Structure 1
Amino acid sequence: MNTRTYTIAGIVLKRSNVGESDRVVTILSKEEGRQVYVAKGVRRTNSSSGSYFEPGNRITAHCVRTKSLPILTQSKLIASGHESKSRSLADIRRISQLLEIFDGVFVAEELETPVFNQIELLHSQALMGTTPIDELRRNVRFLIQLMGFDISQDPKKSLAEELSTILEKPLRSFDFLVVK
């Protein structure tokens, strides 16, 4: 078996454009944890997989290890984070905050099954948009506790403040997604 190639299934956390046709994508997967990949040629107008690498999407991807960043060669969309045409700003903010939390908390190492199952649960609840916010908060707290972080149950301290303490920086997605 060739160890240079492998397949992952994960959630796209963020992406940035590089050059004219490439994109650098951060994906959270059970196999690799939070890892950065290069998707070659996905910004071309005739690329069929360019939209797969949008934040919030669940994908399966075939990867090739290189000396620098791994390259995504093939991909398949499992669930889109932007399917619903009636998505409100609150739903978009919820998904954006969740992706920012995932990006800040996880590192490049294999994730344990209970942790990744909780990640998938939170992601699907945020995408559906029907889960009450209190239940989402409880599930985020449970995920943080599963990872070994001490998160208090102090009602005076908001979840965003506690997460900012853990991440050692404030959550940014909340600032520009607030309805004024």
Structure 2
Amino acid sequence: MTRCAPFVAVSPKCARRQVIPMGERLYRTTGVIIKRIDVGEADRVLTILTPVGKISANARGIRKTASRLAGHLELLSHCQLQLAAGKNRDVVTQSVAIDRFEAIQHRLYTMAAGYYVAELTDNFVTDEDTASPALTHLLASLQMLCQPCHVEMVMHWYTLQLSDVAGYRPQVFDCAVCGALLDEHAQRWSITQGGMLCPDCVRADTHAATISLALFKLLRFVQREPLAVVAQTVQPFALHTQAFRLLRQWVVRHSEQPLRSAVFFDDVRLKEYQDY
């Protein structure tokens, strides 16, 4: 069997740009499966977030009952991968699951949240520079969702962290226009200007939304505090609803991609609270 080249020998992009001996076409990496699409009778195309970027890879025969790859390449799984560089798309040749985050799959609510953050990641991560910090935040969020926590708070935290990584950090401590320190009198939120506006700069965006003081404080808290603190903080259902609406508008505007999983998550979230 051809031995795999070391991880640093060849990157996915380099492998596709040049003719490389077969022994060097193989490379290893780790990553989280953030998207999967069934193709043909038994194959599946995977989108994998790795420390050096997103990889689109073909998992051949993975939907067959006897496939050795099937249990290691589920959505949201963190995997050690060996791939063969292809001309248009790489091919997964080996995979070992590092963490399947199985606790997420045991509850519909956390599963819906997992799908949400996976789609958000796929929409926002577009280059190598954002991949490594995005992967770090994604793993932290998935690990937290496996523990007792407030799911909405984890999702708000991840949304703001991913926005920061992608270069779209909303301003909630300083005015997005003049840079003045904000206080409790700030009420206007402007997507086009980059966040909160002080009372003197509200004319910069006549379409800026008016938000409650509670929502303003929530955004500041989530952006400032570590995940371990944020995830254990209780907030009202209605306030979370406001936060989701505001942050979705923010990410959709800047990623230029819809969040299709949001409808499913909202339905599951509402049922979760009704049952509770």
TM-score range relative to shorter protein? 0.7 to 0.9
Q: Residue 141 of structure 1 aligns to which amino acid in structure 2?
A: L
Q: Is 1:73 aligned with 2:93? A: yes
Secondary structure of the corresponding residue to residue 128 of structure 1:
coil
1:60–1:77: 8 Å Cα contact kept in structure 2?
A: yes
The verdict on how the C-alpha distance between 1:66 and 1:114 changes in structure 2, with shifts beyond 3 A counting, is closer
Question: Unpaired segments of 5 or more residues in structure 2?
Answer: 6-22, 173-188, 190-209, 212-244, 272-276
Q: Residue 44 of structure 2 aligns to which amino acid in structure 1?
A: R
Give the TM-score normalised by structure 1.
Answer: 0.84
Alignment of 1:97-176 (within 5 A): 97-109=116-128, 111=130, 113-128=132-147, 130-131=149-150, 133-153=152-172, 154=189, 156=211, 158-176=246-264
Distance 1:143 1:82 in 2: 23
The verdict on how the C-alpha distance between 1:174 and 1:114 changes in structure 2, with shifts beyond 3 A counting, is closer
- Tell me the percent identity: 24
1:24–1:37: 8 Å Cα contact kept in structure 2?
A: yes
Distance 1:44 1:24 in 2: 14
> RMSD of aligned C-alpha atoms?
2.4
- Runs of 4+ aligned residues of structure 1 deviating over 4 Å after TM superposition are 110-113
Bigger proportion of residues as strand: 1
The verdict on how the C-alpha distance between 1:85 and 1:108 changes in structure 2, with shifts beyond 3 A counting, is closer
Q: Residue 252 of structure 2 aligns to which amino acid in structure 1?
A: S
Return the match for 1:58 from 75, 78, 98. 78
Question: Unpaired segments of 5 or more residues in structure 1?
Answer: none
Higher Cα radius of gyration: 2
Distance 1:10 1:37 in 2: 12
Corresponding pairs, count? 178
Distance 2:148 2:130 in 1: 26
Structure with more relative contact order (C-alpha pairs < 8 Å, separation 6 or more):
1
For 2:198, the equivalent position in structure 1 comes to none
Return the match for 2:66 from 40, 46, 56. 46
2:113–2:155: 8 Å Cα contact kept in structure 1?
A: no
Secondary structure of the corresponding residue to residue 92 of structure 1:
helix
Return the match for 1:6 from 8, 27, 33. 27
1:64–1:71: 8 Å Cα contact kept in structure 2?
A: yes
Distance 2:154 2:67 in 1: 39
The verdict on how the C-alpha distance between 1:74 and 1:151 changes in structure 2, with shifts beyond 3 A counting, is same
Q: Residue 95 of structure 2 aligns to which amino acid in structure 1?
A: S
The verdict on how the C-alpha distance between 1:127 and 1:11 changes in structure 2, with shifts beyond 3 A counting, is farther
2:54–2:131: 8 Å Cα contact kept in structure 1?
A: no
